[in-house]
Amino acid sequence: MSEEILKIERVSKKYKLGMIGGTTLRDELQRKRAARKGLEDPTKQIGDKSIGRTGEEFLALEDINITVNKGERVGIIGHNGAGKSTLLKLICRITAPTEGSIEMNGRIASMLEVGTGFHPELSGRENIYMNGAILGMTKAEIDKKIEDIIDFSECRQFIDTPVKRYSSGMYVKLAFSVAAHLDSEIMIMDEVLAVGDMAFQKKCIEKMSKVSKDEGRTVLYVSHNMNTIRQLCERVIVLSHGHIIYNGDVETGINIYLGRDRDYVNKIAVTDEMRELEAGKNPTIESIDLNNEEGISPYGDKLRFSLEIKNRSAESFPFLVRIIMKTLSGTIVTMSCNEDTILMAGGEIRTFDVEMDTSNVVPGQYTFTFVLYEVGEMNADRNLEVLRDIAGITVKASPEFNHGMSWNSSWWGSFTNGALKITEV
């Protein structure tokens, strides 16, 4: 089991911003001439400040090292633009890395985006042969598998129709079926199951687990759907801005990904980057103290924050405080705000103690969003300061809580009103 099948060493991929595609020879010559004379790029769009004269570079991936063993099922997660698809493209040899090397010990069946290399004019059957041939299989080898492929795809009725007439669901079903059945040692799936219906998604996940366990095939799977990642993968790699930030256990990886790649700290000094709104002539939060070194709050406790607030206006300013509590996956748990308007004199800095009753919140990880707002005429509120998901805390209970079972929020919610009182009549 410990045989290495894929080894990625010090891989980087660099793209040139603003120079990608669509250039004509004339543009290029003009650009070079302008660069020599130190003039502004004449082919650049007016007002486009992001692209430098000589073309800035963008590292989609930087110094990536991954080793995958035979038969492993690895999930790759990360936000849009983290470099997941670029990584898969490099492994599939669609494009070459700028630095480093990728070594592999087998053939790759891939599904990048929707549909592998299907030709729209050809029928489903012809496309199956074509994809097999792309993997280097002979006609006889494909003949042996074709019935399984057609059965799995649920497209038998349309198998001799050109694929350009297929619905997107059928397209995905056939493409997945081809990738799963053809001989390959490594299977690469990029966010493809999102198109299929739930029943087919389930079937695909089961199929991928099966080929991995029975045939020892390696699966690399990219998805934003954490449930499918949990069901399929044994290991996850979390990418962020072209770097690997985590490589290991699935649950920890998912939490890191959902925690928006941030370590929550006890004392937060607010900087302008954290602010969702520009700091204007109004009250702003300057620092937050969770009064909790561990970041852990026992179940049933109330939370006590200290907020340092500064009135940036020269005049006195009335405002209210609101705290929104969310789970790590982004589901809103609750909101609390204060009753009486706070009035601060111009330029004043004061520190407030804030108590939030979280005693009914079940064990789990939560984030907090802090808002300062004012209520104007017609009871319309206006936000003055928004610090989104800036702080986090873990609520923990004693092992006896819920009879020792872990609390599943998607079934039972994030609040509990305590134990049921049951007495015999």
Partner 1 sequence: MEQGKFYKKISADTNNLNFNFSEIWKHRDLILLLVKREFVSKYKQTVLGPAWAIIQPLLTTVVFTFIFGNVAGLAECGAVPTFLFYMCGNIAWQFFSGCLTATSSTFIANSGIMGKVYFPRLCMPVSTTLSQLISFAIQSAMFLVFLVIYLFIPEYSIGINLCVLMAPVLILQMAMLGLGCGIIISSATTKYRDLQFLVGFGVSLWMYATPVAYSMDLFKSSAVLHIIARANPMTPIIEMMRYGFLGGQAGSLDWLSYGWSWIFTLVVLAWGISLFNKVERTFMDTV
Q: Decide: 2 and 67 in contact? Cβ < 8 Å.
A: no
Under DSSP, the state recorded for 197 is -
Between 24 and 157, CB nearer to partner 1: 24
C-alpha–C-alpha distance, residues 180 and 174, integer Å: 10
Is residue 128 left, alpha or beta, with left meaning phi > 0 and alpha meaning psi from -120 to 50? alpha
Please say which residue, 110 or 177, places its beta carbon nearer to partner 1. Answer: 110
Beta bridge partners of 393: 366
| 69: exposed, middle or buried (Cβ count in 10 Å: 0-12, 13-18, 19+) | middle
> Whole-number minimum distance, CB 386 to partner 1, in Å?
38
Closest to partner 1 by CB, 190 or 389 = 190
Strand partners, 289: 267, 306
Minimum CB distance to partner 1 smaller for 121 or for 294: 121
Q: Give me the helices (H) in 38-138, please.
A: 84-91, 124-134
Shortest Å distance, C-beta 45 to partner 1 = 19
Closest distance of CB 134 from partner 1, Å: 5
Residue 123 beta carbon to partner 1: minimum distance, rounded to whole angstroms: 10
Q: Which lies closer to partner 1 via its Cβ, residue 143 or residue 381?
A: 143
Q: N- to C-terminal Cα distance for the chain?
A: 61
CA atoms within 13 A on the CB side of 50: 6
Inter-residue contact 246 to 238 (CB < 8 Å): yes
Distance CA 163, CA 148 (A): 19
Query: Smallest gap, in angstroms, from Cβ of residue 209 to partner 1?
Result: 23
Query: Smallest distance from the beta carbon of 106 to partner 1, in angstroms?
Result: 7
d(CA 103, CA 112): 20
- Beta carbon nearer to partner 1, 140 or 199: 140
- The CA distance from 168 to 333, in Å, is 36
Closest approach of Cβ 47 to partner 1, in Å?
25
By beta-carbon proximity to partner 1, the closer residue of 146 and 344 is 146
Please identify, using beta-carbon distances, which residue of 17 and 332 lies nearer to partner 1.
Answer: 17
Query: What are the residues binding partner 1 (CB under 8 A)?
Result: 3-4, 7, 15, 20-26, 28, 89-90, 92-106, 108, 110, 112-113, 115-119, 121-122, 126, 129-131, 133-134, 136-139, 185
Q: In angstroms, what is the minimal distance from the CB of 340 to partner 1? A: 59
Whole-angstrom distance, CA of residue 336 vs CA of residue 358: 10
